[in-house]
A and B are shown apart, each in its own frame.
Chain A
Amino acid sequence: MINGLIMNETSEPNYLTETRGLSSWIFTLDHKRIGIMYLCIILFFFLVGGVFGLLVRLELLKPNNWLMSNQTYNEMFTLHGVIMIFLFVIPVIPSALGNFFIPLLIGARDVAFPRLNLFSVWLFGAGVLVVIASFSHPIDTGWTFYTPYSARTAAAVTILVGGIFLMGMSTILTALNFIVTIHRLRAPGMTWHRLPLFIWSMYATSIINVIATPVVGMTFMLLMAERLFGIGFFDPAKGGDPLLFQHFFWFYSHPAVYVMILPAMGIISEIIPVFSRKPIFGYRAIAYSSMAIAFSGFLVWGHHMFVAGMSNAADIFFSFFTFSVAVPTGIKVFNWIATMYKGSIHLDTPMIYALTFIFSFVIGGLTGPFLGALATDVPLHDTYFVVAHFHYTMMGGTVMGLFAGLHYWYPKMTGRMLNEKVAKLAWALIFVGFFVTFFNMFILGFRGMPRRWATYPPRFQTQHIISTVGSWILAAGIVIMFYNFIRCLKKGEKAPPNPWGAKTLEWQVPSPPPTGNFTEIPVITDWPYSYPKRDE
């Protein structure tokens, strides 16, 4: 897999060098190797999904199907959405970084059930293969699979949904493993209130995964049964109810947006104090707000269905709770800012990405209430405003958080430092490209451009051209970032154990860590943010 990244032979064996060969990876029980395997698979699909996104943008350069037919366009944006959501954002931080860092951060040698962990990564791999098999008849339903269309289309919905089911099982088992690990394997002295905030956010995420994922799993099974046997639950012709599908789908898929964002928030909560050299402000508020988000996230799924024909009472209920989710999110943002206040801020790449996260996530977050409010959702629903909103939260939020985490932990995972100059260049392109591509879409949406359309009236063209050019800048930035990741595996400077001067446990072991993580399980006497108070 990444045998290229062997350290120089004289050093102590670490998790990468202790054993060699493909089978030592495929059958490994080491949480770090499992995390790396997830990371490689998932980042690969990020690139694949990105290519589909670029194709979608390319088609929209001109108003009239100049590149592809409407049907092909449907397939392109669906593949883009499905890959980005199910093969990338949902699993990426928990399965990859979570696996690698949860045991390290709590002072454990591994997760609670290492074999189950290995089984999860196999399930994930199997799911990926099944999803790929479904590309023979590319799916064209949108990533939301709404019935009745998804029950009738000739595309390979059954296979695709089956593959996602397998990946869902992998997610559930991983979450289970994390919950038990966090409960049972914390180092002596690591009380709940001494846990790093990344752990709190992963704990909240895991609870959502355990509770919400089975519901979508069952929904997908019913969809498969609908297609195979015509059971009729979602088919009005047979007395079924298509809205029921939407309710089930969003009962999962709204909490799933917190599965996407909470882990990223956890990463930001680690990075901000380290690069501000200040204790985190409002530790408990941040920790508890993760739990509050996990809980209230289950009460708001109906905001995706305001125009689908729910009762007025339901509309008002869901609208109210949607606003209430904004509160714990706001709490976090204020606490991050308060942490930076009067800090000694070091603008290394992880910190720059963390700041980008806050900036663009706030934009994504603040445009949410426009869609959560009934009166404004009706005209904005299914326009580019929505596309802009969720790219600001998912790309501006989760993906920036992920990039922050990758730059922050790269030295730990690989034993090498990244090239800062290249990393910053890539960041600049990504930042500019992202804003050029997506900010513009808010306005497009206000002007009435509907989402999921391959064609449009010529008056929208200028703005579409801007977005498409933006997507090229963004792509260039991402390519440079990956180039940096790959090049520095060999060419990067050797990383010291703690290049950033952080206090959490993963930095107290060598980079990369040895297979069992700790020679001796540490005893914890303090929380992980005890930076000296600055007097001024």
Chain B
Amino acid sequence: MIRWDWIGRNLDDIAESLAEHLTLTVIAVLVGFALSFAASLLIHRRRWLYAPFTSVSGFLYTIPSLALFAFLVPFTGLSLLTAEIGLVSYTLLILIRNTVAGLDGVPAEVREAADGMGYSRSQRLWRVELPLALPVIVAGLRIATVTTIGLVMVTALIGQGGLGQLMLRGFNRQFPTMIYVGFVLSVALAVIADAALLLAQRALTPWSRGGVR
């Protein structure tokens, strides 16, 4: 049922799809993280911003991906930009929530000790609060990354899609092998990315006992 010979003959194609999938994911997560990080720091300073920021990102998060891409296409075309706008907007809610929660989770006495020792506000943020928030922030990154890897599939409909493209072609040609290859690789990519981020977090936070699950 799986045509191994086809796989053997098309390794280049498959690798290219995989690389494209990874690129789409990395761009989305990096841009999403940069935006969320800036938003979270703003929220950290001005608490009242939390509600508006999370309701906008929550709204985006609720709209089904296919609908979001459909909204964008008439304006930004079947392009990489369309794909990334959609992908990035799905990372925002998780990343903002976790970054803010991570900063909120810094124990009050630690914050007070930092003030009492004479840290300035930004020293406290960069040297104490962010390092301590890291496990929760990375937990958010893990979920955002895994979710994005899944959503990249859907961008096949707008001509992008990495492994999703592979699966869609397999579907159109009634050729299951392509579907299976795309599926297995995307799940493997998600699992590996998740594990890699977890390991990176463990390495960066030697003080936490085991860290977040």
Partners in one complex: no
